[in-house]
Amino acid sequence: MAPAKQDDLPILIAGGGIGGLAAAYALSLKGFPVRVLEQTAEFREIGAGIQLAPNIFAAADRIGLKDALLADAWQPPAMEMRCALSGDLVTRMPLEQEFIARFKQPYAVSHRADIHGAFLQACQDSNLVSLENNQRVEDFEDDGGGVTAILQDGERVRGRALIGCDGMWSRTREKIIGDGAPRVSGHIAYRAVLKHSEVPDDLWRPDVVLWAGPRTHFVHYPLRRGELYNLVAVFHSDRYEEGWNTEADPSELWQHFNGQRPEVLRLLERIETWRMWVLCDREPVKDWSQGRVTLLGDAAHPMLQYLAQGACQATEDAVALAEAAAQQPEDLAAAFRNYQQARYLRTGRVQIMARVYGEFYHARGVTAELRDLMLGARTPQQAYDGIAWLYAGG
Ligand SMILES: Cc1cc2nc3c(=O)[nH]c(=O)nc-3n(C[C@H](O)[C@H](O)[C@H](O)COP(=O)(O)OP(=O)(O)OC[C@H]3O[C@@H](n4cnc5c(N)ncnc54)[C@H](O)[C@@H]3O)c2cc1C
């Protein structure tokens, strides 16, 4: 049998999370065959909420998936910040008509499984995308004419190029950049999802609500057309080195939220089982492409979740990458450099600003007073102006 010409070979994607599936689908729309190699036994996302800013909808619109992302989402009327000690409203940003008029797209909150499921369905409906489980990419070789992904069991998978969408602890990144383990931020997130019926009526709010406390914050919002309620409690702790989606110790949570408003404590009390995340990020870098191999999403620019942008940026990456590849299908190495050039400053800015927002949310004393003064004085239009670099960019 004659060897396949490299142009006939598929583009390989390591990792089938939100970024990997978005990239697979966006590339398939440009006519590229794609193989998604996912390490787990099935394609799925853990149960927790995710905020979707206008910039993800602008990106999803370019690949025809905006309606699919919105189908089961909840569109909150506003986002507000309250002081977790006094209960006072610090600031409220309306998310309805004037917001949509400004950013041309809505703001929504959704279940991660619903967003991942929308990208998965699109990939399953494409005859150019092959979805493959139990395939852990350990290494790769780029010989200039193509790329070979080396799987954990030693199998070698040949492709035209490789995109590392393998998340925070990316093997692909380790080989391209080699910057070691992610930076442990010292912030821990406890997450839980309740049914609507489990939330007391007087505590259920249609908005995204953030309770800012000293070295803590607590966020809640409805999910899945309002049927579910998402809770995220974040606090500072040096106890953990790293970890992901492990069962949490609620007594630690109580130590950190002790003394906060009854609205916060009563909601925290409703939870029987929390899942815990040790929040990590990395320093921004720019050289995340090497020949026919590049990175995308958390593998390229892992960020703290304080701007609620990791999945939004991964989706923007996917669309930008597919557009760059379509412009230079004969030279994917050059296309990957162009994609990286178009993306690194924006994603680096989100990585840095997410840290700043985290400090802002957890401020104490005079810093907290200043925060409240500055944010409280803004009109909605000024609030929109302040975040336009992010929501209207991309
Ligand atoms: C507490 C918290 C709240 C968040 N809230 C938001 C939010 O509101 N809005 C938002 O936009 N983002 C949010 N994020 C960020 C968002 O979840 C991530 O940025 C996003 O999911 C990254 O997607 P990804 O596809 O790049 O990586 P991942 O979701 O990590 O997917 C990586 C995939 O690759 C697979 N994999 C890993 N290694 C290999 C390998 N060697 N070979 C094959 N497969 C492999 C994994 O199994 C996984 O399926 C939040 C994150 C956290 C922790």
pLDDT digits (tens, 9 = 90+) for 51-107: 999 999 999 999 999 999 999 999 999 999 999 999 999 999 999 999 999 999 999
Instruction: Tell me how far CA of residue 10 lies from CA of 143, 149, 328, 333, 371, in angstroms.
Output: 16, 12, 16, 15, 50
What residue ranges in the chain does DSSP mark as E strands? 11-14, 34-37, 49-52, 78-83, 89-94, 108-111, 129-132, 137-142, 147-151, 156-159, 161-164, 183-195, 208-213, 216-223, 228-236, 244-247, 275-281, 293-295
| Residues 237 and 277 sit within 8 Å (Cβ to Cβ) | no
Atom 50 of ligand 1, nearest CA residue: 305
How far is Cα 128 from Cα 130, in angstroms, rounded to an integer?
Answer: 7
The pLDDT of residue 277 is 86
Buried b (16+ CB within 10 A) or exposed e, 40-63: eeebebebbbbbbbbbbbbbbebb
State the catalytic residues: 221
Q: Is the CB of 222 under 6 A from ligand 1?
A: no
Q: Is the CB of 10 under 6 A from ligand 1?
A: no
User: What pTM did the predictor assign?
Assistant: 0.96
User: Ligand 1: which atom is nearest the Cα of residue 309?
Assistant: 11
Q: What would the two tokens of residue 357 be?
A: 């927002």
Q: Which of 298, 309, 312 to mutate to test the pocket of ligand 1 (most atoms within 8 A of CB)?
A: 298
The pLDDT of residue 242 is 54
User: Ligand 1: which atom is nearest the Cα of residue 189?
Assistant: 1
- In the predicted model, residues of the chain with pLDDT beneath 50 are 1-4
The pLDDT of residue 273 is 80
| Tokens 């970890």 belong to residue | 243
Q: Is the CB of 136 under 6 A from ligand 1?
A: yes
Q: Is the CB of 37 under 6 A from ligand 1?
A: yes
Atom 38 of ligand 1, nearest CA residue: 166
How far is the centre of ligand 1, averaged over its atoms, from the C-alpha of 168 (Å)? 7
Q: Where are the alpha helices (DSSP H) in 125-215?
A: 171-176
Atom 48 of ligand 1, nearest CA residue: 17
Amino acid residing at 87: G
